[in-house]
Amino acid sequence: MSATRVTTPVQSVDAQAEWELAYRSSKLRDCEFTTLSGTPLKPLYGPDDAPIDPARDLGLPGAFPYTRGVHPTMYRGRLWTMRQFAGFGSAKQTNERFKFLLEHGQTGLSTAFDFPTLMGYDSDHEYARGEVGQVGVAISSLEDMQTLFDGIPLGEVSTSMTINGPAPILLAFYIACGERQGVSPKDLRGTVQNDILKEYQAQHAWLVPVEPALRMITDVMGHCAKHVPQWNTISISGYHIREAGSTAAQELAFTLANGMEYVRRGQAAGLDVDQFGPRLSFFFDSHLDFFEEVAKFRAARRIWARKMRDVFGAKDPRSWMLRFHTQTAGVSLTAQQPENNIVRTAFEALAAVLGGTQSLHTNSMDETLALPTEKAVKIALRTQQVIAEEIEVAHVADPLAGSYFVEAQTNRLEQEAETYFKEIEKRGGVVAATEAGWIQREIHRSAVQYQRALEQGTKRVVGVNCYQEDEGKGPQIEILRIDPNVEREQHARLTALKKRRDAAKAKKALDDVRDACSGKDNLLERFIAAAHADCTLGEIADVLRERFGKYKEPRIL
Amino acid sequence: MNDQKIRVLVAKPGLDGHDRGAKTVASVLRDHGMEVIYTGLHQTPEMIAEAAQQEDVDVVGLSILSGAHMSLFPRVRDELVKRGLGDVLLIGGGIIPGDDVTKLESQGFAKLFGPGTNTEEIAKYVIAEMARRRAATGGRR
């Protein structure tokens, strides 16, 4: 190994010994000096802690292994996309929130769906009672999708949709919605999350068992490579893994392991890695540990570039680049003294920017209480704008490179991820490890450890286990409530739609979906036809559940 | 004093997939010597009441972070009552605004725990409340 040190001046042995003596004889604060994930930290990092070969391990911005960022200009060329996740109530209400955000300078849309939609049930299904429009917008049909994007030209915005189990169906609604607006699928830009592995592992909104779900993902990759070339077909997500309680290293490792599985599946389905590789994107959490998070983003880019080039044989540099969206950590927000959440979110957002994110969602201060109000969401967006416009951090690419500490953390996270990759391999790969519940138990173990640290006071949270205030029965901030009429109105719309549509055409489209389930035809194409025939989400999903069965959760506890 | 083990059902009603809190609380209650059964995700009110009956639990703890608590929590309570389980200690937690906490606590929920609650506090509450109930009923719950 030709590893050299980041910089050359090294303290004399005497000076080092003198500092160590001074350090050891000093009184220290009574706390555990660890990362948020529990990794012990040294009091000082020097060149010996960060052995790197700059050419091999860092490269330059826009060049392999992309540790320093995916664009040669980074934010001098273009700022990150400010993309606030939004969705609640009816399609019409969310359409208004979208327009509000665009008017206030947001540059991309991001759709949150309600639980029935996420699980592939129409708003009038028995399981949907009480849940319609609660955590996101209810979308049961192409008609709902058209209402959601009414007056928003789909050829001009980029849209992200957080949906997984039924992702190919919602993507079909979106493509059909574009076609109804006169926009060619070739001109659609955006992302569908479509990352089913982390659903089984962490977020838990699934539709069918693992194998058919993975087949639908390769169908999406195959169809989009040909017909929707600007679409990110999957957003491989660590966010939910982290929010479920994992450490930073676990988030990194499990996410990239999932990503590698999708690549394997794509290749096994006969697709060329350079055909779908450039459309894979990622989604990470930005948590409170500032330096660990920056290091995580840098390590993620480096690992992915190496795997794509050296393991999967990708030749197109765009396949090597790990592009990612970031959301600040929802779990770091507190219901106590909620205004403090603005500050937490700002630090987390700054870590994402210094880590080179391509797009960013900043959480609103009231999200531990309910969905965000307009005021709260505007402050969250303004937080990004302050980072972009006022604090002069967007002028220099990868500004923390060469910091002994940050490079040491980047190396450590890469090594910890590699150790996990080996462990997963030993367990038969990521699908087997997930079906056995091993990954879920690893995440749970970390969640319990963190909770213990909080309750023992070794990790402190302002307003929760220190600097508490008596807040009476609840916080004194405004809360967004979902109108119960949304559910009733959705029922009426669905009934009217089913009455109005061409019943024979809808039935034929569903039969075509059923046939494609047992054959090899691309399911996404059938979903698009079903969308145009006004088949509902629940109807299409029911066919999939009927043909593929339901997923059964392994026992974790 | 009754040193019979406290049996707890921790349940996730509805389509909500957020189970970090429920599983953490389940683990902590188990560490305090209770028998804890965790239902897993996506349970209907009927499934939860059914499990409570079969497992003969003393406590049912519901967790929900999807905003559907005002619909699902009372339905779980009704299903329990229907099966003659109106006397189980019924508690809950999640993202529940203060006004809703007040309402639910007047509708058969003994206590609701919000975000940031210390899990030891939940365990202590269950132990104390069960001791009080057992003393009052001579051992039966």
Task: Look at residue A456 and tell me whether its pLDDT is greater than 70.
Answer: yes
Residue A123, chain B, CB below 8 Å: the answer is: no
Task: Look at residue B117 and tell me whether its pLDDT is greater than 80.
Answer: yes
| Contact check, Cβ <8 Å, A451/B28 | yes
- Sort out which chain B residues have CB atoms less than 8 A from A473's CB and list them: 98, 101-102
Q: What's the CATH superfamily of B7-137?
A: Cobalamin-binding domain (3.40.50.280)
Residue B47, chain A, CB below 8 Å: the answer is: no
Write out pLDDT tens, residues A2-18: 455 555 456 788 999 99
Tell me which amino acid residue A287 is.
H
Q: Within 13 Å and on the Cβ side, how many CA atoms surround A134? A: 25
Q: Which of B40, B114, B115 sits opposite A553 (nearest CB)?
A: B40
Write out pLDDT tens, residues A98-154: 999 899 888 889 999 999 999 999 999 999 999 999 999 999 999 999 999 999 999
In whole angstroms, how far apart are CA B44 and each of A26, A186, A209, B7? 59, 42, 20, 21
Q: Token pair for residue A388?
A: 């972009």
Rounded-to-integer distance, Cα A366 and Cα A378, Å: 12
Report the pLDDT value the prediction gives residue A557, as an integer from 0 to 100.
Answer: 87
| Contact check, Cβ <8 Å, A131/B41 | no
Write out pLDDT tens, residues A378-417: 999 999 999 999 999 999 999 999 999 999 999 999 999 9
- A484: confidence class by pLDDT, cuts 50, 70, 90: confident
Rounded-to-integer distance, Cα B122 and Cα B113, Å: 8
ipTM above 0.85, yes or no: yes
| Residue A175: partners with Cβ closer than 8 Å, 6 or more residues away | A185, A188, A228, A528, A531
In whole angstroms, how far apart are CA A366 and each of A190, A360, A475, A484? 27, 18, 10, 21
Closest CA to B119 of B24, B6, B10: B24
Report the pLDDT value the prediction gives residue A470, as an integer from 0 to 100.
Answer: 85
Write out pLDDT tens, residues A246-270: 999 999 999 999 999 999 999 999 9
Report the pLDDT value the prediction gives residue B11, as an integer from 0 to 100.
Answer: 98
| More confident: B137 or A266 | A266
- Estimate the crossing angle of helix A248-268 against helix A438-456, to 10 degrees: 160
Task: Look at residue A224 and tell me whether its pLDDT is greater than 70.
Answer: yes
Rounded-to-integer distance, Cα A42 and Cα A405, Å: 9
- A476: confidence class by pLDDT, cuts 50, 70, 90: low
- A471: confidence class by pLDDT, cuts 50, 70, 90: confident
| Contact check, Cβ <8 Å, A557/B38 | yes
Rounded-to-integer distance, Cα A445 and Cα A423, Å: 16
Closest CA to A176 of A162, A159, A164, A188: A188
User: What do you get for the CA distance between the two ends of chain A, in Å?
Assistant: 45
Rounded to an integer, the average pLDDT of A167-194 is 97
Rounded to an integer, the average pLDDT of A359-372 is 92
| More confident: A481 or A232 | A232
Closest CA to A193 of A184, A180, A178, A206: A206
- Match 């899990």 to its residue by tokens: B119
Report the pLDDT value the prediction gives residue A207, as an integer from 0 to 100.
Answer: 96
Report the pLDDT value the prediction gives residue A111, as an integer from 0 to 100.
Answer: 95
In whole angstroms, how far apart are CA A502 and each of A493, A495, A530, A533? 16, 14, 12, 7
Task: Look at residue A199 and tell me whether its pLDDT is greater than 50.
Answer: yes
User: What do you get for the CA distance between the two ends of chain B, in Å?
Assistant: 12
Query: Residues 50..69 of B with a Cβ closer than 8 Å to A: which?
Result: 66-68
3-state secondary structure of B127: helix
What does the domain layout of chain A look like in residue ranges? 54-456, 496-548
Rounded-to-integer distance, Cα A97 and Cα A87, Å: 8
Closest CA to A451 of B129, B29, B96, B56: B29
- Sort out which chain A residues have CB atoms less than 8 A from B115's CB and list them: 334-335, 368
Residue A208, chain B, CB below 8 Å: the answer is: no
The pairing of strands B35-38 and B59-64 is unpaired
Write out pLDDT tens, residues A302-323: 999 999 999 999 999 999 999 9
What does the domain layout of chain B look like in residue ranges? 7-137
Residue B79, chain A, CB below 8 Å: the answer is: no
| Residue A530: partners with Cβ closer than 8 Å, 6 or more residues away | A172, A506, A509, A510, A512, A513, A539, A540
Rounded to an integer, the average pLDDT of A168-172 is 98
Report the pLDDT value the prediction gives residue B140, as an integer from 0 to 100.
Answer: 63
Report the pLDDT value the prediction gives residue A475, as an integer from 0 to 100.
Answer: 57
Residue A336, chain B, CB below 8 Å: the answer is: yes
Write out pLDDT tens, residues A501-516: 999 999 999 999 999 9
Task: Look at residue A1 and tell me whether its pLDDT is greater than 50.
Answer: no
> For A54-456, CATH number?
3.20.20.240
Provide DSSP, A61-100. TTSTT-TT-SSSSGGGT-PPEE--EE--BSHHHHHHHHHH
- Least confident span in A25-29, A105-109, A478-482: A478-482
Cβ atoms of residues B9 and B37 within 8 Å: yes
| Contact check, Cβ <8 Å, B42/A119 | yes
Report the pLDDT value the prediction gives residue A9, as an integer from 0 to 100.
Answer: 55
- A84: confidence class by pLDDT, cuts 50, 70, 90: confident
- A48: confidence class by pLDDT, cuts 50, 70, 90: very high
Q: Token pair for residue A435?
A: 């079906």
Write out pLDDT tens, residues A58-72: 999 999 999 999 999
- A474: confidence class by pLDDT, cuts 50, 70, 90: low
Task: Look at residue B1 and tell me whether its pLDDT is greater than 60.
Answer: no
Mean pLDDT, chain A, whole residue set: 95
